[in-house]
């Protein structure tokens, strides 16, 4: 099993910075820069929302043209630069040009990311100021870089892992932001994961897509999808160690562990969240069907508010599963819950089977759902399909945060 740290010390060939450019009235860090000292093999996954933000459109273009020659990622907060028309695209390009000029690299090797309010234009004077500040501050302060991409997040999110190989050590590290507008395909968030391993663009793409499927595409806070979702992988090869068959499995395991750690951190920091819920659906006809059922339950306001209130209202869970438009036999369904993650079978409480509730102890069920971490397992039959989705409860604070987001 991969040991994942929640901090990042150093990744060979990469420098980062998080600075306060004046975009946030609080004076907190609001821009970040990640730079490689050499060209990277890059991969990216983007929102499936049709209303894609200008930085997403630009990055999709750059990835199609220069996936083997990316050097830097610049990120701003407070403004999503989404639904901003031709001016928004021009501003995204200018943001990349300013970064390239400040670093002395090709503009085509710069990717940009934005997060914040939809429909507002970038304050380009502050963006330019922030880029200059960031270039001058480049170093190994990954914590500052993680803070520089936060919006409603209450804490920075980072993760790293080291892989021991016969040729030496490979490092994988990443930062992410996200707290609200979180739903799969892909989850509403920004993320940059880097490694000093030698990868081809094809290897980078395969690694990111596989990891994304079990991490960022498996988290829910509120069921909304952003216009800006982006996760980028940069592999600069500074370690000189190529990922070949002898340790490909080790690399993939570590990469997925880092991605999953970052994704779970988003759910734990969900807007107003007080509980982390691991929801597993088993026994479906296939994995895709299981995922649909799990997502339906994970996004149900009734399910989420019941968890917030500490109410073991299992009926809401099975009812949500039943409206997922996935066929299964209701009489074959079983539902168990347990406090904590990865509990033993003896710790799980069976609440529903054979089409009706069991003679469970209500006080025990209530104690389980009042825990800060809860595991829910819903078996819908005996098929081979299964899926895990991570979600959280829905509290009064979520409404307060989003009721005044622009103010």
- List, for residues 236-295, the tens digit of each pLDDT value: 999 999 998 878 899 999 999 999 999 999 999 877 688 999 999 999 999 999 999 999
pLDDT at 407 over 50: no
- Residues 57-115: pLDDT tens digits? 999 999 999 999 999 999 999 999 999 999 999 999 999 999 999 999 999 999 999 99
Phi, psi (rounded to 5 degrees) for 351: -105, -25
Query: Would you state the pLDDT for residue 212?
Result: 93
Per-residue confidence at 140, pLDDT binned at 50, 70, 90?
very high
From 149-153, 199-203, 209-213, 381-385, the region with the lowest mean pLDDT? 149-153
- Work out the average pLDDT over 293-321: 95
Per-residue confidence at 220, pLDDT binned at 50, 70, 90?
confident
Strands 356-357 and 70-76: what pairing? unpaired
In a domain, 6, yes or no: no
**What SS3 state is found at 51?**
coil
Q: Which helix (H) or strand (E) holds 102?
A: helix 85-103
Strands 334-339 and 373-379: what pairing? antiparallel
Query: Would you state the pLDDT for residue 223?
Result: 63
Indicate the residue among 238, 268, 298 that finishes a domain.
268
Same domain, 36 and 81: yes
**What SS3 state is found at 246?**
coil
Same domain, 216 and 289: no
What are the b/e assignments for 322-338, b being 16+ CB within 10 Å?
A: eebebebeeeebbbbbb
Number of Cβ within 10 Å of residue 126's Cβ equals 18
From 36-40, 323-327, 340-344, 357-361, the region with the lowest mean pLDDT? 340-344
Instruction: Return the ∠ at Cα 82 (arms to 258 and 231), rounded to 5°.
Output: 15
- Closest to 32 measured CA to CA, from 122, 133, 172: 133
Q: What percent of the chain has pLDDT over 90?
A: 82
**What SS3 state is found at 8?**
coil
**Rounded CA separation 146/266 (Å):** 13
Same domain, 245 and 314: no
Query: Would you state the pLDDT for residue 152?
Result: 81
Which domain covers residue 99, as residue numbers?
14-268
Q: What is the CATH number of the domain that holds 365?
A: 3.10.20.340
Distances (CA, A) of 407 to 121, 125, 151, 271, 403: 16, 22, 13, 16, 9
In a domain, 7, yes or no: no
- Work out the average pLDDT over 113-142: 97
Per-residue confidence at 398, pLDDT binned at 50, 70, 90?
low
In a domain, 170, yes or no: yes
| Cα torsion through 198, 203, 209, 211, rounded to 10 | -50
In a domain, 8, yes or no: no
Structure tokens, 285? 């006809």
In a domain, 115, yes or no: yes
From 283-287, 349-353, 402-406, the region with the lowest mean pLDDT? 402-406
Q: In what order do the strands lie in the sheet with 356-357?
A: 356-357, 349-353, 334-339, 373-379, 276-284, 385-392
Same domain, 263 and 280: no
Query: Would you state the pLDDT for residue 403?
Result: 63
The structural domain count of the chain equals 2
Same domain, 183 and 316: no
**Rounded CA separation 203/51 (Å):** 29
Per-residue confidence at 187, pLDDT binned at 50, 70, 90?
very low
Contact 320, 329 (CB under 8 A): no
188 is catalytic: yes
Same domain, 324 and 246: no
Contact 42, 227 (CB under 8 A): no
Same domain, 197 and 322: no
Same domain, 250 and 301: no
**Rounded CA separation 61/207 (Å):** 21
Cα 292 to chain centroid distance, Å, stands at: 19
Contact 62, 106 (CB under 8 A): no
Same domain, 289 and 246: no
**Among 47, 74, 151, 188, which one carries the catalytic annotation?**
188
- Closest to 313 measured CA to CA, from 264, 366, 275: 366
Query: Would you state the pLDDT for residue 247?
Result: 81
Mind giving me the DSSP string for 314-353? HHHHHHHHHTSS----GGG-EEEEEESSS--GGG-EEEEE
Average pLDDT, the chain: 92
Strands 31-46 and 230-235: what pairing? antiparallel
Contact 208, 185 (CB under 8 A): no
What are the b/e assignments for 131-148, b being 16+ CB within 10 Å?
A: bebbbebbeebbbbbbbb
Structure tokens, 308? 């917030």
- Closest to 378 measured CA to CA, from 289, 271, 308: 289
Residue that wins the pLDDT comparison between 181 and 297: 297
pLDDT at 122 over 80: yes
Same domain, 225 and 291: no
In a domain, 303, yes or no: yes
Task: Name residues whose C-beta falls within 8 Å of residue 207's C-beta, 6 or more positions apart in sequence.
Answer: 43, 199, 233, 251, 252, 255
pLDDT at 347 over 90: no
From 249-263, 331-345, 377-391, the region with the lowest mean pLDDT? 331-345
- Work out the average pLDDT over 152-164: 93
Residue that wins the pLDDT comparison between 48 and 185: 48
pLDDT at 344 over 80: no
Q: What percent of the chain has pLDDT over 70?
A: 94
**What SS3 state is found at 60?**
helix
Same domain, 82 and 160: yes
- Work out the average pLDDT over 212-227: 82
């Amino acid at each position: 099993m991969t040991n994942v740290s929640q901090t990042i010390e150093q990744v060979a060939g990469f420098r980062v910075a998080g600075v306060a450019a004046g975009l946030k009235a609080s004076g907190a860090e609001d821009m970040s820069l990640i730079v490689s000292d050499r060209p990277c093999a890059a991969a990216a996954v983007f929102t499936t929302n049709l209303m894609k933000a200008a930085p997403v459109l630009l990055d999709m273009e750059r990835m199609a043209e220069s996936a083997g020659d990316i050097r830097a990622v610049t990120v701003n907060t407070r403004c999503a630069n989404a639904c901003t028309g031709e001016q928004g695209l021009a501003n995204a390009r200018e943001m990349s040009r300013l970064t390239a000029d400040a670093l002395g690299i090709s503009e085509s090797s710069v990717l940009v990311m934005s997060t914040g309010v939809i429909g507002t234009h970038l304050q380009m004077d502050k963006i330019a100021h922030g880029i200059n500040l960031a270039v001058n501050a480049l170093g190994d302060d990954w914590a500052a870089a993680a803070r520089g991409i936060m919006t409603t997040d209450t804490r920075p999110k980072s993760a790293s892992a080291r892989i021991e190989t016969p040729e030496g050590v490979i490092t994988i590290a990443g930062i992410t932001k996200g707290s609200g507008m979180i739903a799969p395909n892909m989850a509403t968030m920004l993320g940059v994961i880097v490694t000093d391993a030698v990868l081809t663009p094809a290897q980078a793409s395969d690694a990111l897509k596989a990891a994304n499927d079990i991490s960022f595409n498996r988290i829910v806070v509120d069921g909304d999808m952003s216009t800006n979702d982006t996760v980028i992988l940069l592999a600069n090869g500074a370690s000189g160690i190529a990922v070949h068959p002898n340790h490909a499995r080790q690399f993939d395991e570590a990469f997925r562990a880092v991605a999953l750690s970052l994704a779970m951190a988003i759910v734990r920091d969900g807007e107003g969240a007080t509980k982390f819920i691991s929801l597993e659906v088993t026994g479906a006809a296939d994995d895709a069907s299981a995922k649909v059922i799990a997502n339906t339950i994970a996004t149900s306001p009734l399910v989420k508010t019941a968890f917030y209130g500490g109410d073991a209202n299992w009926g809401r869970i099975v009812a949500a599963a039943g409206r997922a438009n996935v066929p299964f036999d209701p009489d074959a369904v079983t539902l168990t819950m347990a406090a904590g993650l990865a509990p033993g079978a003896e710790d799980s409480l069976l609440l529903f089977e054979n089409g009706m509730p069991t003679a469970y102890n209500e006080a025990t069920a209530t104690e389980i759902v009042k825990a800060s971490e809860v595991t829910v397992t819903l078996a819908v039959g005996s098929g081979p399909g299964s899926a895990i989705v991570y979600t959280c409860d829905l509290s009064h604070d979520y409404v307060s945060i989003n009721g005044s987001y622009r103010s």
